[in-house]
Each structure stands twice: as C-alpha cells, then as structure tokens.
A and B are shown apart, each in its own frame.
Chain A
Amino acid sequence: SAVISQKPSRDICQRGTSLTIQCQVDSQVTMMFWYRQQPGQSLTLIATANQGSEATYESGFVIDKFPISRPNLTFSTLTVSNMSPEDSSIYLCSVDRAGLGTEAFFGQGTRLTVV
C-alpha cells in the first residue's frame, strides 16, 4: 500500500481567503487525484494531477478556484481560493501507484470549514 500524508488535517478559514492543502506520498506515483466530499455526500473528483503537466479538471471545477501543483512524483498541492461556506468539505488526495487503476489509495483528508 501507499502511505499518503495530507496537511492540514482540518482547518477553519474565513470566507474570501485561500487554503493550500498538501499531499505527500511515500513513493513515486504517476497520477495523483484530488476529490471533494461535501457534508453527507459522496466523493467527487476535482482534478487529476500529473507531474510536469497542467492538471486536468473535471466538469464544474476550474483552475482559478482550485489551482493545483505537482512539482514532483511524490507531492502535490491543492489550493481552495476565495473560499465561501459552500467550499466547506473534506478534500482528499488519492494516488494510483501502479498507474493501472489497480491501486487507488486515499489520504486521511482535510476537513475544511469556511465561516
């Protein structure tokens, strides 16, 4: 299995501010994914982050709101920009170490509350 560390584990932020979430993996991975889990909801994919290229965003998510960095094969960040209470969610980082869809592991998540 892959060990995925996310920071921070939780935060309470003022509306209009931005928060950057970090995801560190204990081994090199091809793909990293960012998901959002709104309260009481399932997980929705925000974007796919590949090293050396721009992130690919899913419908309904844009780079200006959720900029992503992927500087190397073990690290990625997701920024939630200009936050509003609707952004209150759990944000999860996921990796697919094999690159084949056969190993999908998740971090513990970042619980974000926007007030």
Chain B
Amino acid sequence: AQSVTQPDIHITVSEGASLELRCNYSYGATPYLFWYVQSPGQGLQLLLKYFSGDTLVQGIKGFEAEFKRSQSSFNLRKPSVHWSDAAEYFCAVGADKLSFGAGTTVTVRA
C-alpha cells in the first residue's frame, strides 16, 4: 500500500527566510513523487515531480525537492520565501492514482 506522511501540520516562516517541508512516503516500488500547492480557494498546482534520474528536482516558483531513498523522504525546500508562498502544500505518491499527505499549511509573516 502507498501512503504519505507530512509531519508538520503548520509552519510559520518569515518572508525572506528559508523553508523546508517534510514528506515521508511508503511505496512498494520506485515511487513517483509530487509536490502540489493549493492557494486559498484555488485548485492544485504542480510544483515539481520526481520519477527517476537526478534526485534533486527543480520546480516552479523557486522550489526544489530532494529524493532520498534511504530515508523514504522527498522534502521540499525554498531558499527565500515570498509572501505569495503562503498556501497549503501537499506531497503525493503514486504511479497513476495518487495518495496525498495531510498537507502542511505555510504562513508567511512580514
């Protein structure tokens, strides 16, 4: 069975500071991993994905994520957060149908 754990329900970060969101997965084979962002009242936007190759993946909006098989992790990072990054972030795993984590709410303070 596939599953995702996002240990942090809510993170508050200052604008300009770095951000790291944790994601741990359980999957029986080589995982396809995704990070999505959902702004208030909006749909899901794909930030980045990993399914093979370089374990450091670059995405949109300055985000990157690193796949670590030994730790079953796919943590999302951004070096310098902007106020517009305040949103809900979901990690997901799956080869076609996806299993989502519970999400992490990011609040950005001025």
Q: For residue A100, which residues in chain B have a CB less than 8 angstroms away from its CB?
A: 51, 95-96
* B44 part of interface (Cβ distance < 8 Å): yes
The reply to whether B51 and A101 contact each other, CB–CB distance below 8 Å, is yes
**Minimal beta-carbon separation of A47 from chain B (angstroms):** 9
Give the nearest-CB partner of B102 in chain A. A42
Contacts of A105 in B (CB 8 A): 46
Q: Is B97 within 8 A of A92, CB to CB? A: no
- Which B residues lie within 8 Å of A48 (CB)? 96-97
Any chain A CB within 8 A of the CB of B63?
no
Within 8 A of B (CB), among A83-115: 92, 94, 96, 99-109
* B34 interface residue per 8 A CB criterion: yes
* A45 contacts chain B at the CB level, 8 A cutoff: yes
Report, nearest first, the 6 A-B pairs whose CB atoms are least far apart: A108-B43, A101-B95, A106-B44, A101-B32, A43-B100, A42-B100
**Interface digits, B60-97 against A, CB 8 Å rule (1 contact, 0 not)?**
00000000000000000000000000000010101111
